[in-house]
Structures are given as structure tokens and as C-alpha cells.
């Protein structure tokens, strides 16, 4: 369901996918039935939503599998509004995965020049003349 503003977490029921493009977030309950809330950040280097007019698919740089990092440890894909279960992953590997993903995210951010260094380079340019 596409919405402008996401509802309260306790409003989201199993089997529902709430998507806010304004807030770039997808919220859903874990499909295994444990009740855990999954919140995915829509960001070009993380998650994206495919909507064909009838069904929703979630995608991402690692193929778009959702891996619950707490509680049940579920691992699944959402394709054409259907849950596709994947083989479970050792929870101890999640910490290693998070570290690699964090490094990848930091590496994908454009480097911003600090204002001071930009200002210094402008002054150096004008002082050459």
C-alpha cells in the first residue's frame, strides 16, 4: 500500500506492505508470523520498490533478500507480492554482513569538500593573479 505518511507500527498487520516514497521507507511485518516489524530504507544503494500496477517486488544490491537480524532470523524475497523463502543464514554472520554493508554504504556516498577547503581554494585562485 502506497501512503504519504506511514501508520503507527502497531497498525501494520502481517501480510501488509506499507510504502512511503515521501519518507523513502517500506514497513512490513515478518511473514514468518513472529510479528517483528521490518523497516527498509529506500535508497538507491540499498532498497528499491518495483510496482507493475498490480504487485510489489523489493530489490536491492545484494538481490533484495530480507534477512531478519533479530528474533526469528527469517530470510526471504518479496517478488510479485509473494514471499519466497530462502535458506536460513547463521545469525553470527549477520554482524560480519552489517560491517561489510556499512563500509559499502560509506564508500557509495559522494565525498563532500569541506566548506573551508573550498573557500581556501577559491582564495588561492584569486591570489594567483
Q: List, as own/partner pairs, every contact residues 39-46 make where C-beta atoms lie below 8 angstroms and the sequence separation is at least 24, other chains included.
A: 40/66, 45/104, 45/105, 45/108, 46/105
pTM score = 0.66
Dist CA 33 CA 72 (whole Å) = 9
Q: pLDDT per residue over 7-34, tens digit each?
A: 888 999 999 999 999 989 999 999 999 9
**What is the model's pLDDT at position 60?**
77
Read off φ and ψ for residue 50, nearest 5 degrees: -110, 125
**What is the model's pLDDT at position 13?**
93
Dist CA 101 CA 86 (whole Å) = 20
Cell of 8: 503507527
Q: For residue 35, count CB atoms less than 10 angstroms from its CB and return exposed for 0-12, middle for 13-18, buried for 19 or more.
A: exposed
**What is the model's pLDDT at position 29?**
93
Q: pLDDT per residue over 50-96, tens digit each?
A: 999 999 999 876 677 888 766 788 889 999 999 999 887 666 666 67
**Which residues have CB under 8 Å from 31's CB, separation 6+?**
14, 15, 74, 76, 83
Amino acid at each position: 500500500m502506497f501512503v504519504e505518511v506511514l501508520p503507527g507500527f502497531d497498525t501494520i498487520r502481517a501480510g501488509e506492505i506499507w510504502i512511503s516514497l515521501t519518507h523513502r521507507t517500506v514497513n512490513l511485518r515478518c511473514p514468518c508470523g513472529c510479528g517483528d516489524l521490518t523497516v527498509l530504507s529506500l535508497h538507491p544503494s540499498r532498497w528499491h520498490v518495483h510496482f507493475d500496477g498490480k504487485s510489489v517486488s523489493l530489490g536491492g544490491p545484494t538481490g533484495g533478500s530480507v534477512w531478519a537480524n533479530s528474533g526469528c532470523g527469517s530470510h526471504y524475497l518479496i517478488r510479485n507480492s509473494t514471499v519466497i523463502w530462502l535458506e536460513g543464514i547463521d545469525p553470527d554472520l549477520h554482524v560480519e554482513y552489517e560491517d561489510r554493508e556499512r563500509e559499502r554504504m560509506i564508500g557509495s556516498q559522494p565525498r563532500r569538500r569541506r566548506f573551508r577547503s573550498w573557500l581556501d581554494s577559491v582564495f588561492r585562485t584569486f591570489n594567483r593573479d
